[in-house]
Amino acid sequence: MKKITIIIPAYNEEESLPLLYDRLKELMEKMNNYEFEILFVNDGSKDKTIEIIKDLRNKDERVCYVDFSRNFGKEIAMIAGLDYATGDCVVFMDADLQDPPELIPELVKYWEEGYDDVYAKRRSRKGETWLKKFTSKMYYRVLQHLTKVEIQEDTGDFRLLDRRCVNALKKLRESQRNTKSMFSWIGYKKKEVLYDRDPRIAGTTKWNYKKLIDLAIDGITSFTTSPLRISTYISIPTFIVLFVYFVYVIVKCFVVHEAIQAYQAIILLILFFSGIQILLFGIIGEYLGRIFNETKNRPLYLVNEYNGKKEMNDEK
Ligand code: UDP
Ligand code: MG
C-alpha cells in the first residue's frame, strides 16, 4: 500500500486543529486504499497547539509531529516536514483549513497518472483583502521578471510532491528559503489543479505586511544576486559621461586653445572618483553575492522532540 504524508506546519493553531483533524479523518476513511501519515510541524507555538497534537497522537498512531525548539517560520517548518516525512508522496497543507482536504483525492489521482508535482491553483480567494491579492500578484510579476525559472502564479504551498521531488528539495538547504521558487527550480512533471480557497476557519492569520515584505525580499535575493549589480550598472553611464566631457575639455584646450577652467577640472575629478567608487561598490557587491551564496551553512532548525522522543539534532 502506498503511503501519503500530509505535512501541516502549525503556529498557534489550537482552535483549528480539532476541526482539521476531523476533516482529515473523514478523508482517510474515504481513501482507505492508502496508508496515511499526518505530520504536524509545531513551529514554536505559544498556545496549546502541541498539547492538542499530542492528544491526537495518543488517539491515532497516524498522527506524527516534529516540535521545534522555537518559532522558525513556515518556510523552515516545511523543510522539516520534508525531512521527517516517510511517505511515497507528501501533501503540504495549512492548518487553518484554507486548503480543503477534499481536494487531496484529485491531487493523488494525477500523481497516480505519473505527475510528480501536482499543485493547487487558487481560482478564488475568499476572505482576503484586495490589497493582499494585489500585492501578491505584483510580487509574482517581479519575481518572475528577475528569475529565469518559471514561477506559478496564484499558487500557494498546497500541493502534492512525489518522493523524488521531496529528495530534491531536501538537498536545497539555504537558510533564507523561498519554497515557492524552489518548487519551480527542481522541475519535474507538473500538473495544475484549480480550487477555491476558503477563508481561515478559526484563529487569526500569522501574516502581516512586514512578514510578507520580508518574504518577498528573501524570495528575490535568495534567487538572484542581480540587485547587487545595480552599482555596476550605475557606474557605466557615469564613465560614459566622464569620457564625453573629458574629450570635450581636451578638444577645447588643444584645438580651440582655450585654457581649462577650474570648474571643468573639478567636474572631471568628481566624475572620475565617483565613477571609480560606484564601480568598486559594484565589484564588492558581486563578491559579496558569491560569498552570500556559499555561506548558508547553519542547521535550518532545531527540534525539541519528534513523536515524543527527544531529538539530539546530530544529523539534520
Ligand atoms: N505558520 C507557521 N509558522 C509561522 C507562521 C505560520 O508554521 O511562523 C503556519 C500556520 O500555522 C498555517 C500556515 O503556516 O498553518 C499558514 O499561515 P496563515 O494561515 O497564518 O497564513 P495565510 O494563510 O494568511 O497566508
Ligand atoms: Mg491561512
Residue 149: burial class (beta carbons within 10 Å; 0-12, 13-18, 19+): middle
CATH code at 120? 3.90.550.10
Residue 76, phi then psi, degrees to nearest 5: -70, -40
Q: How far apart are CA 132 and CA 149, in angstroms?
A: 24
Per the structure block, which three cell numbers stand in for 209? 505586511
Same-domain status, 247 and 206: no
Ligand nearest the Cα atom of residue 212: 1
Same-domain status, 60 and 132: yes
Q: Are 112 and 33 in contact (CB under 8 A)?
A: no
3 state DSSP class of 5: strand
Same-domain status, 171 and 275: no
Write out the residues surrounding ion ligand 2, Cβ under 5 A. 94, 96, 98, 200
What's the domain range around 270? 226-294
pLDDT of residue 176: 67
Same-domain status, 186 and 116: yes
Residue owning the nearest CA to atom 17 of ligand 1: 206
Same-domain status, 159 and 30: yes
Per the structure block, which three cell numbers stand in for 13? 493553531
User: Measured from the CA of 77, which atom of ligand 1 is nearest?
Assistant: 7
pLDDT of residue 41: 94
Same-domain status, 101 and 25: yes
Average pLDDT per consecutive 10 residues, the chain (316 residues; last block may be shorter): 93 89 90 91 91 90 90 90 92 89 90 91 74 77 73 80 92 77 84 79 70 71 68 80 85 81 82 80 75 71 78 59
Same-domain status, 164 and 248: no
Residue 314 lies in a domain: no
Question: Own/partner pairs for 122-125, CB < 8 Å, 24+ apart?
Answer: 122/154, 122/155, 122/156, 122/194, 122/195, 122/196, 122/197, 123/194, 123/195, 123/196, 123/197, 124/196, 124/197, 125/197
pTM (2 d.p.): 0.70
Task: Give the residue from 175, 198, 224 where a domain finishes.
Answer: 224
Task: Give the residue from 224, 241, 267 where a domain finishes.
Answer: 224
Same-domain status, 218 and 71: yes
Q: How many domains does the chain have?
A: 2
Task: Give the residue from 224, 251, 282 where a domain finishes.
Answer: 224
Residue whose CB lies within 8 A of the most ligand 1 atoms, among 43, 78, 94, 126, for a mutation test: 94
Q: Which residues line ligand 1 (CB under 6 A)?
A: 9-11, 13, 43, 71, 73-74, 77, 94-96, 98, 200, 205-207
Residue 138 lies in a domain: yes
* Centre of ligand 2 from the C-alpha of residue 191, in Å: 23
Residue 201 lies in a domain: yes
Residue 304 lies in a domain: no
pLDDT of residue 294: 67
Same-domain status, 38 and 89: yes
Same-domain status, 240 and 191: no
Residue 303 lies in a domain: no
Q: How far apart are CA 204 and CA 13, in angstroms?
A: 9
